[in-house]
Amino acid sequence: MTSDSRIWRQLKKNRAGLAGLLIVAVFFLLAAGVWTGILGQDWSDAGGGRWEPPGKEFWFGTNLLGQDIFQRSIYSVRTAFEVGMVVSIFSTVLGAVLGSLAGWYSDSWIDHAILWLKGVLDSIPFYLFVAAVAYALQGQDWAMHIAMIATFWTTTGRLVRAEVMKIKSREFVLSARAIGLPDLLILSRHVLPNTLHILLIQTTIAFVAAIKTEVILSFLGLGVHDGVSWGLMLAESTQEVLAGHFSNFLAASLMLFALLMGFNLFSDALQDAYDPKQAAI
């Protein structure tokens, strides 16, 4: 049985992982509906009354300004996926590049420089550093993304470095070096593909971390400005909850919880499927 078929077999046996994948798929369809203009396009319209209760016209009720909370929560799915995809992909790629270089040229000045940079970033409290970078870049459309990418790559880099250091001593790599292939060619074509399992798992973990961080930054006023997100909805709800109106808070919290739960279940299933110990089961 091939590695891919074994992994798929393990995934199919993991009901929690399949449930997580289904949840993520549903949320992705909601995001696709917003991208195509089918859903959530009236998120900014103040067509309702102040704090209207849930009903046929406004499924989740309205906020202080009379905006449809359901429309706003659905549009926020798009925000979550956009932030999650951009940050997870770019941070994983950056971690793969720097980690592979550090592992390939281990104990060289390249390795020492990358490890020093990683050590500096890891020594700074995570949310404090991200908030500081986002604040310093206020007014830039990609400030929040840059702040997260600059910090999220370190774990991926550490894991890839360790894996590359193991792979580079294998026979197929030694043979490629013996026939004179350039280091970067060996690294890109023969070594990095063997770290794909690490990169896939780290991408899902970074996706979850990016969404949570965006919510926190938006809640603090350092995240999304042109649009709406669950973080902004939670920020709005701080005053509404004091007035006895919980629709904004519940809609944002439950949607965030469901998406993160789905990704966490799927990420755990991926890690179990790629675990060599599962091969004998």
Q: Find the CATH number of the domain harbouring 142.
A: 1.10.3720.10
**pLDDT at residue number 276:** 52
| CB neighbour burial string for 193-213, b if at least 16 within 10 angstroms, e if fewer | eebebbbbbbbbbbbbbbbbb
Per the listing, tokens 């992982």 go with 17
Q: Is residue 237 part of a domain?
A: yes
Tell which residue, 76, 34, 88, has the closest CA to residue 218. 76
Q: Is residue 45 part of a domain?
A: no
Q: Is residue 268 part of a domain?
A: yes
Q: What are phi and psi of 62, to 5 degrees?
A: -125, 165
Domain that holds residue 263: 3-36+66-280
- Give the rounded distance of the alpha carbon of 202 from its chain centre: 9
Reported pTM: 0.84
**pLDDT at residue number 85:** 92
Q: Is residue 46 part of a domain?
A: no
Q: What is the largest CA-CA distance in the chain?
A: 75
Q: Is residue 44 part of a domain?
A: no
Tell which residue, 249, 254, 223, 229, has the closest CA to residue 237. 249
d(CA 89, CA 221): 25
User: Which of 193-197, 201-205, 274-278 has the least mean pLDDT?
Assistant: 274-278
Is residue 280 scored above 60 in pLDDT? no
Q: What is the pLDDT of residues 49-96, one digit of tens each?
A: 777 777 777 778 788 778 888 888 999 999 999 999 999 999 999 999
- Nearest-10 Cα torsion for 30, 35, 41, 43: 70
Per the listing, tokens 């091969």 go with 279
**pLDDT at residue number 90:** 94
Q: Is residue 52 part of a domain?
A: no
Q: What is the pLDDT of residues 117-168, one digit of tens each?
A: 998 888 888 778 777 877 777 667 677 888 888 888 999 999 999 999 988 8
Point out which residues pair with 68 in neighbouring strands. Answer: 62
Helical axes 3-13 vs 15-35, angle rounded to 10°: 90
Q: Which residues contact 191 (CB under 8 A, 6 or more apart)?
A: 100, 104, 164, 167, 168, 173
Do residues 63 and 51 touch, judged by C-beta distance below 8 A? yes
Q: Is residue 59 part of a domain?
A: no
Domain count within the chain:
1
User: Which of 1-5, 15-19, 44-48, 80-84 has the least mean pLDDT?
Assistant: 1-5
Q: Is residue 61 part of a domain?
A: no
Per the listing, tokens 């509404």 go with 240
Q: What is the pLDDT of residues 33-50, one digit of tens each?
A: 999 988 878 777 777 777
